[in-house]
Amino acid sequence: MENIPSLPLVAIVGRPNVGKSQLFNRLLGKRVALVDSEAGTTRDRIYGEIGWEGTRFQLVDTGGLIAASTALEKGMMKQLSAAVQPADLCLLAVDALSGLHPADFEAADYLRRLGKEVLVVVNKVDNENLLVAAAEFSRLGFKKMFSVSALHGLGIGELLETIVSRLPKLEVLSSPPRAVIAVVGRPNVGKSTLANRLLGEERVLVDSEPGTTRDAVTAAFTWSGRPYLLIDTAGAVRKPSSRSAVERYSLNRTHGGIARADLVLLLLEKFHPPTRADAAIIHQALELGKGCVIGVNKWDLPGDVSLRQYRQQLRDLLPYAGFLPLVLFSALTGKDLDRLLQTCEYVIAQRERKIQTPVLNKVLQVAQKQTPISAKDGKRLKILYAVQTGASPPVFRLFVNHPRLLPAAGRGYLTNQLRRALGFEGVPIKLDLRPAPPAGNKQSVVKATEVPRI
Ligand code: GDP
């Protein structure tokens, strides 16, 4: 498995028309941003990923920093601050051709107030004569200044070198992780708070305003002496019409996070029953064969919630997911965090289990005897032989007389019986039905390579 780092974020900030988009493109090395000479035409925040001298980071072009008077401008400023706040480093872009501008001082003050580390990037230094003009920007009060020409690509290498020297180094795991856990859930349920607690430092931004976690971040943590990878997704599931490019990006990251995980930890919160968005996440995770645990966060908040009622609401929304463990905890105080992790580890182990063939066949025989399964055409379904052909997630191959005729209820009955006898809490079970071989030839249908060594 690759060692997936958590990506630091660098934000380009500055008044309109100083060449932020061009700088973004030049740093990225390919044209992805909208560049226009008219002020304020870069409409959205645009993100890119850069690899340089063994470090990778994300770059965001924040659009124009403007004095906000209209509602639209205020909205733009809000967007901008959401992009800037989580940044590890800010590039304050200014324009050598037009010289120091009052808005440059405003931008400088804004970044200072946020306590950001700032590199001043004096753009449009297209020839040596302009170097002199660039010097006046020292009045902005930042130590590090760079003269560049985004248009001609001058000074970019030096700037990149300084950027990477200021960013946190990539994490490399010394041993392979035990498992990858994706923390998913609606905005504000406490994903980042949990991530911060597990990772032991403030690595991910936490804010009470929804949607401020910038990205899916992967980082390593150790629990009970074993290393795990944690994917903290900004799981914004919103109305399609209100999705900005960045929100779509986050949503993709949620899906991507689930796909990369062994275990999906869905967070809910006290007083907020699960929604369809939560059900959709669980559905997707189970479809992809992931282990699932539901953690109900903020259980430290005062006020009563009937646990029975909560479970019932869950069952109503996710009738097919009664086998998922539910843990009440508090990411803020750490209460029952150990129990949450124990449960995650338990489900990860369940997903890896391999059942011996005689045991499996015994369970299925008993199940058939207890309740005969009728096939869709009224005939009886007979399971002649079964074997586990896959683990993580478990797949059971059943050789039956009528593979195409098993109704959903019969499938449900069989998986329930397997769960009752064998466990597999929190893990989706896949049944792979095949036509039974001619009598006396049951071994020949399972290729040696398909049978796990158990
Ligand atoms: P995210 O959007 O899912 O990453 O949510 P955050 O981690 O940013 O948390 C949103 C808000 O809920 C913040 O104000 C947190 O301090 C608060 N919060 C998170 N976990 C808990 C908890 O266990 N108990 C309480 N009382 N508040 C919490």
CATH number at residue 375: 3.30.300.20
The residues of the chain scoring below 50 in pLDDT are 1-6, 31-43, 202, 204-215, 235-250, 447-454
Atom 22 (ligand 1) nearest CA: 298
pLDDT at 388: 97
Tell me: do 228 and 113 sit in the same domain. Answer: no
List the domain range (segments joined by +) for residue 328: 179-351
Number of domains in the chain: 3
Residue 343 inside a domain? The answer is: yes
- Do the Cβ atoms of 34 and 46 come closer than 8 Å? yes
pLDDT at 290: 96
Which of 166, 201, 233 marks a domain boundary? Answer: 166
CB distance 330 to ligand 1 below 6 Å: yes
pLDDT at 374: 81
Compute the distance between CA of residue 16 and CA of residue 64 in angstroms, rounded to an integer: 4
Distance from Cα 269 to the centre of ligand 1, integer Å:
9
Tell me: do 341 and 287 sit in the same domain. Answer: yes
Sign of CA pseudo-dihedral 326, 330, 331, 334: negative
Atom 14 (ligand 1) nearest CA: 208
pLDDT at 246: 40
Residue 375 inside a domain? The answer is: yes
Model-wide pTM > 0.75: no
CB distance 206 to ligand 1 below 6 Å: yes
For residue 330, which atom of ligand 1 is closest to its CA?
Answer: 23
pLDDT at 314: 83
CB distance 432 to ligand 1 below 6 Å: no
* Cα 315 to Cα 93, 260, 308, 363, distances in angstroms: 53, 27, 10, 26
Residue 3 inside a domain? The answer is: no
CATH of the domain at 57: 3.40.50.300
Distance from Cα 194 to the centre of ligand 1, integer Å:
8
Compute the distance between CA of residue 18 and CA of residue 172 in angstroms, rounded to an integer: 38
pLDDT at 450: 47
Atom 9 (ligand 1) nearest CA: 190
pLDDT at 344: 97
Tell me: do 215 and 82 sit in the same domain. Answer: no
Tell me: do 283 and 323 sit in the same domain. Answer: yes
Residue 4 inside a domain? The answer is: no
Which of 133, 166, 199 marks a domain boundary? Answer: 166
Tell me: do 148 and 267 sit in the same domain. Answer: no
pLDDT at 73: 62
Q: Please choose from 299, 328, 332 the residue to mutate so as to test ligand 1's pocket, defined by most ligand atoms within 8 A of CB.
A: 332
pLDDT in tens, 169-211: 655 556 678 898 999 998 889 988 898 888 775 454 333 334 4
pLDDT at 59: 86
Distance from Cα 330 to the centre of ligand 1, integer Å:
9
Tell me: do 197 and 235 sit in the same domain. Answer: yes
